Amino acid sequence: MIEHDDFQLKAAAKEKVKERAYWTSILSGVQLDGRIPHTVSQVKPAAMNRSLHSSFPVAVNHSLKQLCGDSDLRMFIVLTTAAFGLLQRYSGKTELMVTVPTMEQSANQSAINHMLPLKAEFDPHMSFSAGLDAVKRSFQEAVRHQNYPVHILMEELWHSLGDGKERVNLACAFETLHGQADRKHLNADVLIVWKKAQDQLHTEVHWDASIYDDQMMEQFSKHFMTLTEQLLKAPEQAMSTHSFLSDMEKSQLFDAFQGESLAYPVDRDIVSLFQQQVQLHPARTAVLFGTTSYTYEEVDHLSDRIALRLSQSQMIRETPVGLRMYRSAELVIAILGILKAGYAYLPIDVHLPIERIRYMLKNSGATAIVSDAAEHEGLDVEVHVIQDMLHESEIKEDLTWSISPSDMAYVLYTSGTTGHPKGVVIEHRHVINLVYGMKTRFFDLLPDDVQVGMLASHIFDASVQTLFPTLLLGHTLHIAKDEVRMDGHALWDFYRENHIQLSDVTPSHLKLMNKAAGQSKQDLPALNMLLVGGEVFTKELMDQFLQHLSSEKPIMINAYGPTECTVQSSSFLIPHNWDEQVIPIGKPMPNERIFICDGQGEPVPIGVFGELYISGDGVGRGYINHPDLSKEKFIKKPELSSGVLYGTGDLARWRFDGVLEFAKRNDNQVKIRGYRIELEEIRRAILDDPNMQGLIQDVIVIPKETTEQDQYICAYLMANQVIDQRVLRQSLSGRLPGYMVPRHLIQVEQFPLNLSGKLDIQALPNPEDQLPAGQERVAIQAHNETEQKLVRIFASILQVPASHIRLDEPFFDLGGNSFNIVELSNKVKEEFQQELTVMELFQYTTVSQIAAQLKNKSAGQDKQIEADGENEADDLESAAQLLGGMIDE
């Protein structure tokens, strides 16, 4: 066989136009995510080759002999088709590629090419016979165009992909056809080689041990044998219906890996368990907010007043009552008062657009709200002002409240695909199960009378995991003020001064604390445990945080759970010596069961990603007044669970050590700064915008991330004419929460497609390079030295030329994020020897506004500057939203 060097091959590649066109069409459009999932997360220095040998059972040998006769080529196609089928089941993808060697050539033949990429569509509902036809066609076409140096074109087209995607995942070879095959030579992570010896068929699996561990490849090899046997027995049956899980694997997935069964008071409700703590600890402090505090007895008596007032209304039992309040200690009293009266509390962000609040009230059936203020313009509801109720006459007699464990406790609204949010209904019994599960997993590891910090907002369910366990187990709740939640220095002080032992926290909070600490060490001797959730938590971030502590390191918990399943469905207590890059989400909580299933609802093997389904005592009632949506998402699957299953839309997998690993969303839902967002809701809001009157033809909404890992929403528009983006943005701000309004609205003539005719997301314009349609960047000359210095500070922090900074453009529109605000505050103090707090910088966000505020402070006026930016926060609560320090999962 005559070898050619790369120079000769590149020259030959240019000459063979027809072959090049064919392979370009095959290689350009392929999605290289059809892969066996990697199972090694520790960083290894170099690829290492490992191999495993096995033999086909006699019955499978016989079946292959009957089907293929003496044709090794036909047997190779049959086995390669089985490999395609298993790759589909392991990857969950339908567009797959496998490389095979070219046929072994004689010594005097020219070897211009050594491999053939086979591309095939493998639908899960496809039969094995149909799969055989697809692989056969792909093989024949590849052979027809094989006289071309394919690997040269692969390097040319895939060199920029990185992350291992410049290789094909799986290669197949038959020794009698291909001779000695080499995994690296075939540009693959895994190679299956079939060999014949004394009329017996053997298999060798070779793999890169830097990305796959032995357990995964041993399992893959066994599954290949099992699936091949089943496919040969029923070639006309849909390949997705064949189960290759062994009884031992099913026992692990359905029993050993599941949450423990835990007894808890199933006949009790939130109110009765709280009053039990009142009897035990009447004088103990129940809740603190700043300098305001209430004992258990005071909370009980004051919440009675609220309950008595509400119970005198005409509302029927279980009616939701809107809770439109700022953060305060009185918020807790209001919640308990609503629950005592037999109603459910419906948290409402005080700064949501009125249109959205109206929808939530109408959809939920709420006719009353509890609020800080009497004025609620535009809302046709009964308003109960919290301070008026708290100052009503003291109730002399002991009141009793009749509440069932199955009564509705709260309704939380999350983003929805229909263009409107959806309200999740959680009952008292669901909360009680959570409380006792957390007691067993977390609180029992801590001393009595725990000081609990609450950073989450009451409008998200993360507040439930601190609020109710604290009050129902007799501990003390410290509610952090908004200015604390968004300031790293203030967070360190909050934990230290209040001797916080346990707290919820998001990765965003930890980043703020790391930045505030700088190179210094911090002493938090009381802090025993942190419940981390809401965003992906990385080992790097955890290590950075722990390195700042001079005191004993707290227990770090990575928690996971959707709103629909009462906050926490799984948790992972992270060992201090954890050395993997990925932090798992752990084991199911007590009385919870988790299943990982493929697109057809069938359980997937260990190590394979699928949709995460939850059943158990934490699964909520459904969506309020949305029976069709509830039926779609809360399903029955008796072969997995006797109860209801909730399909989360999250991709996850079981690891071989029995813990769960989260990957990403499996749909158009994303998390931006902790908020759960349905991209389709934003798309519908843009398409249906009343000011555009049908001018917009289509919209693509996607999440983006800056180099600083700041996530934001970007919308691409196709329209009949130039769209006034200021008008559109203003209209969206009146109908959507601020965190759902896209940071960038980019108008394009058409959406880019790849060679396969599919949308090419990567080819969409980079938002950072765009200007609004019909606008040009016009630099406005700084009026004075203060503005000149501020322009330089903005440019330094945002890493953009000073000429890109407009004096009237908000810091966030220029690409700033909540973490940059802390740096901006420090640099302003350093440059001008005047302090503008983080809260002020959320309010005054342009160069002009900051300069004016500095001038006022210098003159001793310190008066308010009118903030006119569309995305600017106008108070503490909406400023905290920009941080994203509130989580709903």
Q: Are 123 and 94 in contact (CB under 8 A)?
A: yes
**Is residue 779 a part of any domain in this protein?**
no
Q: Are 814 and 798 in contact (CB under 8 A)?
A: yes
Mean of the pLDDT values across residues 156-173?
74
Mean of the pLDDT values across residues 722-740?
81
- Judge if 755 and 850 occupy the same domain: no
Q: How far apart are CA 95 and CA 118, in angstroms?
A: 11
Q: How far apart are CA 635 and CA 615, in angstroms?
A: 10
**Is residue 775 a part of any domain in this protein?**
no
Closest by Cα among 123, 43, 106, 92 to 653: 92
Three-state secondary structure along 42-93? CCCCCCCEEEEEEECCHHHHHHHHHHHCCCHHHHHHHHHHHHHHHHHHHHCC
CA triplet 190, 125, 253: central angle to 5 degrees? 60
Q: How far apart are CA 509 and CA 673, in angstroms?
A: 11
**Is residue 275 a part of any domain in this protein?**
no
- Judge if 351 and 410 occupy the same domain: yes
CATH code, domain with 706: 3.30.300.30
- Judge if 235 and 252 occupy the same domain: no
**Is residue 882 a part of any domain in this protein?**
no
Mean of the pLDDT values across residues 466-482?
97
- Judge if 227 and 249 occupy the same domain: no
* pLDDT confidence of residue 755: 53
* pLDDT confidence of residue 172: 96
Q: How far apart are CA 662 and CA 664, in angstroms?
A: 6
pLDDT-above-70 percentage for the chain: 88
Q: What is the pLDDT of residues 627-663, one digit of tens each?
A: 999 999 999 999 888 899 999 999 999 999 999 999 9
> Band of the pLDDT at 1, cuts 50, 70, 90?
very low
Pairing type for strands 529-532 and 502-505 reads parallel
- Judge if 446 and 554 occupy the same domain: yes
**Is residue 189 a part of any domain in this protein?**
yes
CATH code, domain with 810: 1.10.1200.10
Q: How far apart are CA 410 and CA 349, in angstroms?
A: 15
Least confident of 50-59, 572-581, 628-637, 778-787: 778-787
* pLDDT confidence of residue 527: 97
Count CB-CB contacts under 10 A for residue 697.
11
Q: Which residue type is seen at 855? A: K
Distance, C-alpha 731 to centroid of its chain: 28
Which residue in the block uniquely carries the two structure tokens 């006026």? Answer: 861
> Band of the pLDDT at 877, cuts 50, 70, 90?
very low
> Band of the pLDDT at 334, cuts 50, 70, 90?
very high
Three-state secondary structure along 596-643? EECCCCCECCCCCCEEEEEEECCCCCEECCCHHHHHHHEEECCCCCCC
* pLDDT confidence of residue 442: 97
Q: Are 343 and 410 in contact (CB under 8 A)?
A: no
- Judge if 495 and 554 occupy the same domain: yes
**Is residue 835 a part of any domain in this protein?**
yes
- Judge if 581 and 599 occupy the same domain: no
Of 664, 692, 707, the residue that ends a domain is 664
User: For the chain, how big is the Rg over CA atoms in Å?
Assistant: 31
* pLDDT confidence of residue 652: 96
> Which structural domain, as residue segments, surrounds residue 40?
6-244
Closest by Cα among 133, 206, 126 to 172: 206
**Is residue 267 a part of any domain in this protein?**
no
- Judge if 226 and 302 occupy the same domain: no
CATH code, domain with 475: 3.40.50.980
Of 548, 566, 589, the residue that ends a domain is 589
Which segments of 624-710 are extended strands (E)?
Answer: 634-636, 644-654, 660-665, 669-672, 675-678, 696-705
pTM score, whole prediction: 0.83
* pLDDT confidence of residue 723: 86
Number of domains in the chain: 6
Q: Are 674 and 414 in contact (CB under 8 A)?
A: no
Of 612, 643, 664, the residue that ends a domain is 664
- Judge if 312 and 396 occupy the same domain: yes
- Judge if 212 and 298 occupy the same domain: no
- Judge if 573 and 596 occupy the same domain: no
Evaluate if residue 780 carries a pLDDT over 80. Answer: no
Q: Which residue type is seen at 157? A: L
Q: What is the pLDDT of residues 684-719, one digit of tens each?
A: 888 888 888 778 888 888 888 766 566 778 899 988
**Is residue 67 a part of any domain in this protein?**
yes
Count CB-CB contacts under 10 A for residue 390.
15
Q: What is the pLDDT of residues 207-239, one digit of tens each?
A: 999 899 999 999 999 999 999 999 999 999 999
Evaluate if residue 875 carries a pLDDT over 70. Answer: no
| Number of residues written out for the chain | 889
Coil, helix or strand for 330?
helix
Which segments of 720-767 are extended strands (E)?
Answer: 744-747
DSSP state string for 485-544: HT-HHHHHHHHHHTT--EEEE-HHHHHHHHHHHTT--B--TT--EEEE-SS--BHHHHHH
Token pair in block for residue 70: 């003496």
Q: How far apart are CA 284 and CA 277, in angstroms?
A: 10
- Judge if 167 and 255 occupy the same domain: no
* pLDDT confidence of residue 154: 85
Q: What is the pLDDT of residues 74-92, one digit of tens each?
A: 999 999 999 999 999 999 9
